[in-house]
Chain A
Amino acid sequence: MLGSHWARLAVAAIAATTLAGCGLSDPDTGSDGPAVAAGAEVKGKVSIQTWALKPKFTDYMQGVLDVFQQEHPGVQVEWLDQPGDGYSDKVLSQASGGTLPDVVNLPPDFALPLAAQGMLLDVAAADPKLADDYVKGGIDAYRFAGRDGAYGYPWYLNTDVNYWNSELLAKYGLDARKPPSSLDELMARARTVKEKSGGTTYLMSRKPGLGDLADAGVKLMADDGRSFTFNTSEAAALLDKYRDAYKEGLLPKDVLTETYAGNAKLFNAGTVAWTTGGGNYITGLATDNPTLAPKVVPSPAIGTPPLYVQGLSVARTSKNRAAAVALARWVTNARNQAAFAHLTSIFPSTKASADDPFFSRSDGSNASDAKVIAFTSLGRARMLQPVQVNDAMSTVVNQQIALAISGETTSKQALDTAVSRCNKLLAG
């Protein structure tokens, strides 16, 4: 009797714990409750979490926070910095444990699931001047289909630049200063490199991704963000071009299973002549391959440049919302962003920074040229990949694109499979 009593209790406890752990209650999709009241006092203890800024930018960030505390004597700021690896897991554990810091660095694809669960504050509602001070593309990155508002202050921006190995191109009769302006031109030059090198050197060593499909005019997702739509004939035609190029030997065989990093690795080793990277790529290359770095020529991305956005979101559970909003705005204001951008090749998301000559004038070095190209490209850059695309979906899309390029299936069939699997991943 006692045994069965304990057994019932144990089952009940397990069930209760499990149901609680699973979060059986519906996500909190309600309003933001009492938004930051106008004139609310900025005071109290707030935490801010950044992503891999220590130790390189410790002095900068601490300086920014110190000045904020001097200007708001009633506020104590606790700065948390997380390592680069495993950041999404860290944020996930904080979100599920209800310990999200008051202000947290979240790229848009991290912010979306948290916003969908009602964990983030609508900063557009909390801060009516948001649109006055930040560039539209940056704010739009934190506006999500099906939800009103914006769920983060855009912090810093970046985009991709093309990088050419001028020495390698010259060896095969090509001029890095006259880069191709279309995919067809790129493939024609890849053919030249292949033929003149006897197939030992490649120009191209990356397969296309969703960004390439978007750049080719393919609509990747329905407007309501509930289904993918990239299995179009235009998308299939683009993959057909890559399939033919692969068959012709214009791309290395390993491109089918290589990731984005594989292309950069080959470029850094001097075995392929083209790669893409952020505005500071040459600075990093100068460490990895100092002989190659001076020979690299940057040029604008072919087509629409991708926009990469980092931002600061405010937790809706923050006990000191006014202070949290003020802190997020402070760290991302024009002055602090400009100071940050002077330390590394990132670009401010504030409108006031647009005229800063630091970003638009080159000192003549190729690294500085790249920075200027990246900055001037930002005006026409856009987020090519929907924020709904997570790691699993990227993997599925890459798998199917690789299959199409290998010629083992038709491009249309591969795209149909990718869309079907991504829709399942999206819907759950």
Chain B
Amino acid sequence: MTHRRWFTPWLLAGPAVLWLAVFNLWPAVNTVILSFTNARPLGGGRFTGLANYQRAVEDEQLADALVNSIVYLLICLPLLTLLPLLLALLVERRLPGITFFRTAFYTPVIASAVVVALIWGWVLDDRGLLNGLLGQLGLAARPVSFLTDRWLLLFSAIGLTVWKGLGYYMVIYLSALGNVGRELHEAAAVDGASAVRRLWHVTLPGVRPTMMLVSVLISVSALRVFSELYVLSHGTGGPGGRDMSVVMLIQLYSRGFTGHIGYASALSLLLFAITVGPMLLLARLGRKAA
């Protein structure tokens, strides 16, 4: 005979629910509330209606940051969806020494984003390795402004993101490729399908759900980029602050004794809305394809 008390499930779920409420739900609700106020770390907090959102519409730095985010997304999404798949196909084969390549491709993932960005900063700066090489080869009379030109700095950060992300998504694809039935490949080969046709008609349909997952992950991280741009620009956001991401702007406005918590909260919600958009779109595309 078992005794069932009504509160037993609550008792079991209670700690987790409390944790979620305090550290996830409440901060999210608080962010929404703060975005309608002029809150500062010390004082302020009066209701200001849509003033913060009005300010965001007129904010030139936010417009630049959104352009940067969209460029980031448009370049990172195809590169980080396809290149890791190709890498995974390469290292999937059981060849002698293939573990070395798998490890090598994954190494940038385990390195700290800040440390990696610092190393890239040394490579790309005025007197860095790359400019030294270009000078030695006679390809550039003066150092190339990788870290001071608006677009070159952005593309350098994108390059860093792609390089660092390859190994991570490669591992996800490797596990997906392992689930594609070998018998399908064998049957296609028996039917005379070439390697390219097998890739197109067997492998890709098999990993399509994973490609959707990877695309969503890339979209979210591309729109929320921070470390790469921050470290490569030494926290300055480039000349005129034109290389700032939305997260850098949130950090700019929220820090310090006189931070604009209300406005930073409004930017956070805008970023949330912008991030959710591509996620929903990709999820819808995924369902349609399925």
Q: Which one, A88, A117, A271, A396, contacts B241 given CB within 8 A?
A: A396
Asked if A390 and B44 sit within 8 Å, CB to CB, the answer is: no
Q: Smallest Cβ distance from A292 to chain B, in angstroms?
A: 18
| Contact in complex: A403, B252 (CB < 8 Å) | no
Q: Given A19-B45, A22-B44, does the pair A399, B148 have CB atoms closer than 8 Å?
A: no
Interface of chain B residues 239 through 261 with chain A (CB within 8 A): 239-242, 252-253, 255-260
Instruction: Known A21-B30, A258-B234; judge A392-B252 contact (CB<8 A).
Output: yes
Contact, CB under 8 Å: B260 / A259: no
**Interface positions of A (Cβ within 8 A of B):** 14-15, 18-19, 21-24, 26-27, 88, 91-92, 95-96, 110, 112-114, 116-117, 119, 249, 252-254, 256-259, 262, 271, 390-392, 395-396, 398-400, 402-403, 405-406, 408-409, 414, 421, 424-425, 428
- By beta carbon, the residue of chain B nearest A424 is B55
Tell me if B49 is interfacial: C-beta within 8 Å of chain A: no
Asked whether, in the complex, the Cβ of B257 is within 8 Å of the Cβ of A92, the reply is: yes
| Distance (whole angstroms) from the CB of A113 to the closest CB of chain B | 4
What are 18 A-B contacts with C-beta separation under 8 Å? Answer: A18-B30, A18-B34, A88-B256, A88-B257, A113-B42, A117-B43, A249-B142, A253-B148, A258-B234, A259-B235, A398-B236, A399-B237, A402-B236, A402-B240, A406-B148, A409-B240, A425-B253, A428-B44
Residue of A nearest to B25 (CB): A14
CA distance A186 to B116 in the complex (A): 37
- Mask of B86-130 contacts with A, CB within 8 angstroms, 1/0: 000000000000000000000000000000000000000111000
Interface residues of B (CB under 8 A from A): 26, 29-30, 33-34, 37-46, 55, 61, 125-127, 142-143, 145, 147-148, 153, 233-242, 252-253, 255-260
Assess A253 versus B237: contact at CB under 8 Å? Given A92-B257, A96-B42, A117-B43: no
Cα distance, A414 to B33, chains bound together (Å): 35
* Chain B residue at smallest Cβ distance from A395: B252
Measured in the bound complex, the distance between the Cα atoms of B125 and A420 in whole Å is: 31
Shortest C-beta distance, A236 to chain B (Å), equals 16
Query: A390 contacts B258, CB within 8 Å?
Result: yes
The docked-state distance in angstroms from the alpha carbon of A296 to that of B44 is 50
Beyond contacts A22-B44, A92-B41, A254-B147: 13 other A-B pairs, Cβ-Cβ < 8 A, are A22-B33, A24-B46, A92-B257, A113-B257, A249-B142, A254-B126, A392-B259, A395-B237, A396-B241, A399-B239, A400-B240, A408-B240, A421-B61
Q: Which residue of A lies closest to B37 (CB)?
A: A22
| Contact, CB under 8 Å: B256 / A390 | yes
Determine whether the beta carbon of B43 is less than 8 Å from that of A27. Answer: yes
Complex interface: chain B residues within 8 A of A403 (CB): 239-240, 242
Q: Are B42 and A18 in contact (CB under 8 A)?
A: no
Instruction: State in angstroms the CA–CA spacing of A220 and B156 once bound together.
Output: 36
The answer to whether B238 touches A23 (Cβ under 8 A) is no
Q: Are B34 and A22 in contact (CB under 8 A)?
A: yes
User: Which residues of the other chain, A, contact B241 by a CB distance below 8 angstroms?
Assistant: 395-396, 399-400
Q: Is the CB of A259 within 8 A of B46?
A: no
B46 — nearest CB in chain A belongs to which residue?
A: A24
* Pair B29/A392 contact, Cβ less than 8 Å: no
Q: State in angstroms the CA–CA spacing of A95 and B126 once bound together.
A: 43
Write out the residue numbers on chain A whose beta carbons fall within 8 Å of the beta carbon of B29.
14
Measured between beta carbons, the chain A residues less than 8 angstroms from B257 are 88, 91-92, 95, 110, 112-114, 390
Chain B residues, CB < 8 A from A249: 142
**Are A256 and B42 in contact, with the CB atoms below 8 A?**
no
- List residues of chain A with CB within 8 A of the CB of B33: 14-15, 18, 22
Which residue on B lies nearest to A24, using beta carbons? B45
B43, A399: Cβ atoms under 8 Å? Answer: no
Contact of A402 with B256 in the complex, beta carbons under 8 Å: no
Residue pair A262, B234 in contact (C-beta under 8 Å): yes
Contact B239 A256 (CB under 8 A): yes
- Interface pair B41/A257, CB less than 8 Å apart: no
- Nearest CB of chain B from residue A385's CB, rounded to whole Å: 15
The residue from A23, A91, A257 contacting B148, defined by CB atoms under 8 A apart: A257
Question: Could you tell me if B45 and A22 are in contact, using CB atoms closer than 8 angstroms?
Answer: yes
Q: Which residue of A lies closest to B153 (CB)?
A: A257
